[in-house]
Chains A and B, each alone.
Chain A
Amino acid sequence: MSDPVSPLGNARFDGFVSVREVGPLGMITLRAKADVKELAAAIKAAVGTTVPAQRRVVINGDRAAGWMSPDEYLLVLPYDQVAAAMAAIATAMGGAHHLAADVSDARAIFRVEGAKATQALQKLMPVDFATLEPGELRRSRAAQVAAAIWEQDGGFTVVCFRSVAAYVFGLLSHSAQPGSELA
């Protein structure tokens, strides 16, 4: 069995905010219509949270469930517990129409931390951070690639595709250059 590695080997940059690549982190994409009654039990079994409301992320320690679209949820959990969670989802969903996929190795995750974390992201994303609510998961783009962000533990978690991990890390670290704070 090979050891899982995060795309950039937990790279880190310290500017006016710190940018660090975290991981490997377990991620499961769960697709099912919101009215499927088995859904709540499946999410509970996998990450121990309630079904997130529209555009929300529910955090439970090192696990989380996020709302990605009307029929798609993102489950975040420790990497080595994905297989167990996948089995739990399959049991809980039973015959209900759904799709659960292990996307842990398809993603890269960054943490942007510091008092001015918003400023580093503001320069890259067409998101109005003033109206971003606590516990909101926002899917958008970071410069030229898709990214999702949510606020957690006094910083932001940024999720993007693994193939663009180096690009996004470059963007974030450039955006966090000391002296480039917004007024």
Chain B
Amino acid sequence: MKASLLYKDRDFDMEQHLPWNEDGLTQDLALDTLLDAMGNRDKFLLDVARKVILSGSRDMNTILYRQEILRDCLRNPSILRSAYEIVVEAIEEKRKSFWAFFSHRSPHSVLYGANESMRIFVAKLKLLRGIADEHGHEFKSSGFSRLFTMLRQELSDEYFEEIESHLTYLGSDHDVLVSADLGTGNKGTNYVLRKPPKFKVSWMKRITLAVSRKSEPFTFHLDPRDERGAEALGNLRDRGMNLVANALAQSADHILSFFNMLRIELGFYLSCLNLYERLEQKGIPVCFPVPAPADERIHSFVGLYDVCLALRTEAKVVGNDVDANGKELVMITGANQGGKSTFLRSIGLAQLMMQSGMFVAAETFSANLCTGVITHYKREEDTTMQSGKFDEELRRMSSIADHVTPDSLLLFNESFAATNEREGSGIATQIVSALLEKRNKVFFVTHFYSLARGFHEKGADNALFLRAERGDDGSRTFKLRAAEPLETSYGKDLYDRIFVTLDHTQ
């Protein structure tokens, strides 16, 4: 039984390898903020969201398949939640009942634990079937239709009765017939036993007493105080129950796997729902993106904003409108604090969200799929002291070159700035040119005038230049618009503002 809510034909693999640059992406795009909102304090949900987003699909059909399912979920939030809760309860109740299993590891306790798990699972499966019966028709997506049909067919009333009969039989302490061979076994400890001649008699006395109570041939009645004897008999019974206990426990594990898988697949949509509700509360729009094939060059949107910034701040976030269809290079320049980094992050986040089948943070959004999202951001000084900053930047670039595939989306943020402007611009120009010629799309935020200027002067129509806007009073509007690069970043404003009150020591 498969859920098939993330792929039409297979389960989502939580153990799969995430992209090589997982850590960099997480850090540079502030993914944790997004994932926190999606997880909504549920670590499991957060983890599912992380894996689905980072392993985004490159297949248009899969993305549209998920979008359809997600629309169902946004229409039926409470049903999704109850289904998920049932699944989680099944797993949690089983987990809590599981302790007995481990603390006394004997067939008797295995059987007991498996039986208990089974009873939990059966109850939850019945509830899931109930949801399918009652609400199945409210779901329009092919994914959910199939899941609910499967639940109704496979979990029939007759099937539940069959399980019940097994559990009833195995759950009771009835007699068993067990065959056995004689064996040896002399548990010794390292204690040094001393010969106790005077105690011999009293030992014999105890056994004789037991034998003397015998009331039929070949029957040994335990003395009620002979606890060791009772233990030994219980042990024989345990051996007899070993195989069936194993079979039942394994079956319980299979059902647990089914619940775990459901938890993952429903969980992803629940995490999307969490995010959706957070954004809805803040009154900011989302939309289902229109993906385009990877070999096209589409990037056009209205009101695209940085979803992480929106989640963090109470203030209204500024969305950007850009038409970069047909563009391979987007170069962003302009004022410090002009919203350049925020814009770059919003591009990366929207791409990841789109390719995972989610909605994106914009009024409208369309972009071509890409084979990978890769970030190259300026990083803090290397504390392992291996290298200088510029060296580290080039080393990271080299490792990108090892992994990049055509039709990737590369986001550079103030890269190669750890050297002087002339050399930094020179190297950045070479790198960007090579990437473009190998059919990649590049967004580059820089304060290097000569870098931006150089590409601008080429006048190629595959490049778009955006500038962080600045009001006439020097205030920042955080909105970008298409404009050629300018040669200043307004550092003097800041200096005057901060140092104007400086009292000179001396």
- Do A and B form a real pair? no
List residues of chain A with CB under 8 Å of any chain B CB. none
